[in-house]
């Protein structure tokens, strides 16, 4: 079990670093808002994070 948790944590940190590299601080803020919204079951915060991520993805494409 600890090995799985460690692997998941490493994947999350790697994904955050990729977001930071590609989209800057706003990508990290959007990802954190989306994650917090999902964990807290708060659709408003999660929706804001999702919208920001979509806008960043649309802008870069």
What residue ranges do the domains of the chain occupy? 2-60
pLDDT in tens, the chain (61 residues): 788 889 888 998 888 888 778 888 888 898 889 989 999 999 999 999 999 989 988 886 6
Q: Measure the CA–CA gap between 51 and 7, rounded to whole angstroms.
A: 28
Whether residue 46 contacts residue 38, with contact meaning beta carbons closer than 8 Å, is answered with yes
Can you give the pTM of this predicted structure?
A: 0.70
Predicted local confidence at residue 60, as pLDDT: 65
pLDDT at position 37, please?
A: 92
What confidence score (pLDDT) does residue 41 get?
Answer: 93
């Amino acid at each position: 079990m600890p090995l799985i948790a460690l692997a998941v944590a490493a994947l999350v940190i790697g994904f955050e670093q990729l977001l930071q590299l590609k989209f800057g601080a706003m990508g990290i803020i959007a990802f954190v808002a989306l994650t917090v919204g999902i964990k807290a079951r708060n659709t408003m915060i999660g929706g804001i994070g999702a919208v920001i991520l979509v806008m960043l993805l649309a802008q870069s494409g």
